[in-house]
Amino acid sequence: MIIDLHVHTNKYSKCSSLAPDEAILRAKERGLDGICLVEHNAIWSKEEIEQLSARHKYLVLRGMEVDTGYGHILVFGLDSYSKEMRDIERLRTIVEKKGGLMIAAHPFRTPIYPQGGYGDWQLSLPVEQGVRRRVFSLVDGIEVFNSRSKPNEGLLALKISQFLQLKTVAGSDAHKVPEVGASATVFTDTIKDEEEFVMALNNDNYYGINLGS
């Protein structure tokens, strides 16, 4: 199954111009098997997602992208957002209790994180130094393809994931219709709902791919 794990909509992410229905229709056009709506510091209710999925007869999943001092973290398996999650160690505790997962999103895109950045020279880091970034000891995996990131950012993320043997995912980070499905994650498991989605994420039978625009 091919699922775009990183899509923002104008329902809960102010920076996005993408309507939920548009995102789903575009994902269908691209031949994806599902889509995950990941909002900034917010999450869809289970009921909303189930209604959206039923209306389109399509697999729609949910997650959130949490702002922390160590960067943006994709979080799956939770039902709500709270400001305390901005503390990444507190977020780790919450996620572990719920049996969810944390993924470092586009970890080398911008060197602005007060606790996690390396500065403008971060992309020239040797892998052996890059792996020392604190965030990588607190997440379950790394987003290695993100369609809004530069190729060298993804390459470094991929090398880091291989060195640390972390799970790898990919997502478009779509904020507009054409961006949906440009990157996605391939699952060997069959996923029909959120419960199976979280179970699949906790397995290691998936990988990220870049599908292009």
* pLDDT at position 111: 57
* pLDDT at position 123: 61
Higher-confidence residue of 62 and 125: namely 62
* pLDDT at position 114: 55
Complete edge-to-edge strand list for the sheet that includes strand 59-68: 167-171, 141-146, 101-104, 71-76, 59-68, 34-40, 2-7, 183-187, 206-210
* pLDDT at position 204: 86
Task: Give the C-alpha separation, 52 to 7, whole Å.
Answer: 15
> Among the listed ranges 36-50, 54-68, 130-144, which one has the minimum average pLDDT value?
130-144
* pLDDT at position 122: 60
Higher-confidence residue of 133 and 120: namely 133
* pLDDT at position 148: 83
**Can you give the CATH number for the domain in which 105 is found?**
3.20.20.140
Residue-range definition of the domain harbouring residue 200: 2-210
Q: What's the average model confidence in pLDDT over 26-39?
A: 98
* pLDDT at position 151: 80
Number of domains in the chain: 1
Where does the pLDDT of residue 31 fall: very low under 50, low under 70, confident under 90, or very high at 90 and above?
Answer: very high
* pLDDT at position 110: 62
* pLDDT at position 144: 94
> Among the listed ranges 8-17, 114-123, 157-166, 177-186, which one has the minimum average pLDDT value?
114-123
* pLDDT at position 185: 98
On the question of pLDDT at 153 being above 90, the answer is no
Mean pLDDT of the chain: 92
Q: What is the pLDDT of residues 83-124, one digit of tens each?
A: 999 999 999 999 999 999 999 999 887 655 555 554 544 666
